[in-house]
Structure 1
Amino acid sequence: MRTVLVVDDGPAELELICSYLREGGYTVISTTDAKDALAKAESQKPDLVVTDVVMPGMSGFELCRSLKKNEATQQLPVVICTSKNQDLDKLWGKKQGADAYVTKPFTREDLLQAVQSVV
């Protein structure tokens, strides 16, 4: 069973993503804070991270960059799941190390397909 760390500061979005992943057979760890996600990524060793971009304190882009720079988490696949849907946003996400990019609104299938493509 694969474990996914989900990071989103919106409670409704967080719950929706978590429920889709659980329905898809994944174990889910969640947080609303990117800095907390960094700690959880190291301590709980998930198989994958799904993160929003627009969050207070640290953005999902910064989270992705931090994960990819850290030797302990650099191999961890990252799926960005955000309302930022411009081509430039997607390009920037890839430059930060994102392995997949899903734009909101998304379907259950969109999310699971992105997750399955990187694990």
Structure 2
Amino acid sequence: MEDNASQMDLIENYLREGGHTVIRVSKPKEAVTHATNKKPDVIITDVVMPGMSGFELCRKLKGHPATANIPIIICSSKNQEIDRLWGMKQGAKAYLTKPFSQEQLNRAVKLAMA
């Protein structure tokens, strides 16, 4: 989940080049439905999105039995320590601040899935 299409493209390319299959969803409410039905290995979300923040999405997914164990990575331009701590408190496995490299993203995915 990313609110910026070019950033979403970049993340998707990084993941595909890292050997991952990507299910792309542009609306937070769709993400909840897709996560419940598809059970992805990991979910990557932004914090600032229309309709629901990444923090809210994280809480919602962690509170649902079907998605509670799916690791979540937050990728955000919000780079304050309090934002990272709040994301982790909501259940995120990792918090990356933009800009990040392909290596950083794929390392976070690998660690989140471990």
The list of structure 1 runs, each at least 4 consecutive aligned residues, that deviate by more than 4 angstroms after superposition, is none
Corresponding position of 2:27 = 33
CA distance in 2 between partners of 1:34 and 1:60 (Å): 8
For the residue of structure 2 that corresponds to 1:80, the secondary structure is: strand
For the residue of structure 2 that corresponds to 1:31, the secondary structure is: coil
Shift, 1:44, TM fit: 1.2
Higher strand share: 1
Task: Tell me whether 1:105 sits opposite 2:93 in the alignment.
Answer: no
Q: Percent identity at matched positions?
A: 55
Corresponding position of 2:36 = 42
TM-score, structure 1 normalization: 0.93
Corresponding position of 1:114 = 108
For the residue of structure 2 that corresponds to 1:76, the secondary structure is: coil
Q: Which of the residues 70, 91, 94 maps onto 2:64?
A: 70
Shift, 1:76, TM fit: 0.4
Shift, 1:45, TM fit: 1.3
TM-score, structure 2 normalization: 0.97
Shift, 1:43, TM fit: 1.0
Corresponding position of 2:5 = 11
CA distance in 2 between partners of 1:59 and 1:48 (Å): 18
